[in-house]
Chain A
Amino acid sequence: MASPMAPPTAAGSRFSVAGGLARLLARFGAAHKKYGVEWWILIAGAVVILFAIFMASFPATLARYDPLDQEAGPQMAAPSRAHPMGTDNLSRDVLSRMIHGSRTILGVAFAAAILSSLIGIPLGLLSGFAGGPLDRVLSLIMDSIYSFPGLILAIAFAAMLGPGVVNITLSVAVIYIPTYFRLVRGQTLSIKEELYVEAARAIGAPRRTILGRYIFPNVIATVVVVFSLNIADAIMTEAALSYIGLGLPAGIPDWGMDLSMGKKFLPSGVWWMITFPGAMISLLALGFTMLGEGLSEILNPRLLEK
Chain B
Amino acid sequence: MKNLLRYALTRILLTIPMLWILLTLVFVVLRIMPGDPVSAMLGGHAPERVIEQKKEELGLNRPILAQYLDYLGDLARLDLGNSMIYNQKVSQPLLEKLPATLELTMVGMAFTMLIGIPLGAYAASRRRTGRDFGIRLFGNVAYCIPVFWMGLMLQLVFGIWLDLLPIAGRTGPRVFVKDFQNTGFYLLDTLLAGQWASFADVALHLLLPSLTLGIVLSGIFIRLTRANMLDTLKADYVLAARARGIPERRVVYGHALKNAFIPVLTMLGLQFAALLAGAILTETTFSWPGMGRLLLERIYLRDYPTIQGVIVVFAFFVSLVSLAVDLIYALIDPRVRY
Residue ranges of A at the interface with B (Cβ–Cβ < 8 Å): 140-141, 143-145, 147-153, 155-157, 159-162, 232, 236, 239-240, 243-244, 259, 262-263, 266-267, 269, 271, 274-275, 277-279, 281-282, 285-286, 289-290, 305-306
Q: What is the CA–CA distance of A289 and B145 in the complex, to the nearest angstrom?
A: 11
- In the assembled complex, the Cα of A149 lies from the Cα of B310 at a distance in Å of 12
A145 to B143, CA, bound (A): 22
Ordered by A's residue number, 9 sampled pairs between the chains whose C-beta atoms are within 8 Å are A144-B21, A145-B22, A148-B22, A159-B296, A259-B149, A263-B285, A266-B156, A267-B160, A274-B152
Interface residues on chain B, number (Cβ under 8 Å)? 48
Alpha-carbon gap, A266 to B208, bound state (A): 15
CB pair A266–B299 under 8 Å, yes or no, is no
Q: Which of B162-185 contact A (CB under 8 A)?
A: 167
Q: Are B318 and A159 in contact (CB under 8 A)?
A: no
Cross-chain contact A156 with B322 (CB below 8 angstroms): no
B9-38 CB contacts (< 8 Å) to partner A: 17-19, 21-22, 25-26, 29-30, 33-35
Residues on the A chain within 8 Å of B273, using CB:
147-150
CA distance A282 to B141 in the complex (A): 8
Q: Is the CB of A266 within 8 A of B152?
A: yes
Q: Which 9 A-B pairs have the closest CB atoms?
A: A278-B149, A160-B33, A151-B277, A149-B277, A144-B21, A159-B299, A286-B144, A285-B144, A149-B273
Given A269-B161, A278-B152; 18 other pairs, CB 8 A cutoff: A144-B17, A145-B21, A147-B18, A148-B318, A152-B295, A153-B25, A156-B311, A159-B296, A160-B34, A236-B146, A243-B281, A259-B149, A269-B156, A271-B156, A278-B149, A279-B149, A281-B149, A289-B143
Interface string of B292-324 (1 = CB under 8 A from A): 000110011000000100010011001100100
Q: Give A275 Cβ to nearest chain B Cβ, in Å.
A: 7
Q: How long is the Cα–Cα vector from A263 to B17 in the complex, in angstroms?
A: 41
Residues of A within 8 A of B277 (CB): 149-152
B307 touches A156 (CB 8 A): yes
Complex Cα distance, B227 from A183, in Å, reads 22
Q: Give Cα A105–Cα B235 distance, bound, in whole angstroms.
A: 46
CA distance A271 to B273 in the complex (A): 31
| B145, B227, B314, most chain A CB atoms within 10 A | B145
A140 with B29, Cβ < 8 A, contacts A266-B155, A305-B227 known: no
Q: Please tell me which one of the listed residues A145, A244, A267 contacts residue B25 in the complex, with CB atoms under 8 A apart.
A: A145
Contact of B146 among A144, A160, A282 (CB under 8 A): A282
Residues of A within 8 A of B152 (CB): 259, 262-263, 266, 274, 278
Give A156 to B311 CA distance when docked, in angstroms: 10
Bound complex: CA of A147 vs CA of B17, how far in Å?
Answer: 12
Pair B29/A160 contact, Cβ less than 8 Å: yes
Closest to A273 in B: B152
Interface residue from A143, A152, A305 paired with B18 (Cβ < 8 Å): A143
B35 to chain A, nearest CB (A): 7
Shortest Cβ distance from residue B43 to the other chain A in the assembled complex, whole angstroms: 17
Check A147 against B144 for contact (C-beta < 8 Å): no
B46 surroundings in chain A (CB, below 8 A):
none
Contacts A147-B273, A160-B30, A271-B156 given; does A152 touch B149 at CB 8 Å: no
CB-based contact A286/B148 at 8 Å: no
| Residue pair B17, A140 in contact (C-beta under 8 Å) | yes
Assess the A285–B146 pair: CB atoms within 8 A. Answer: yes
Beyond A244-B296, A263-B152, is A232–B26 a contact (Cβ under 8 Å)? Answer: no
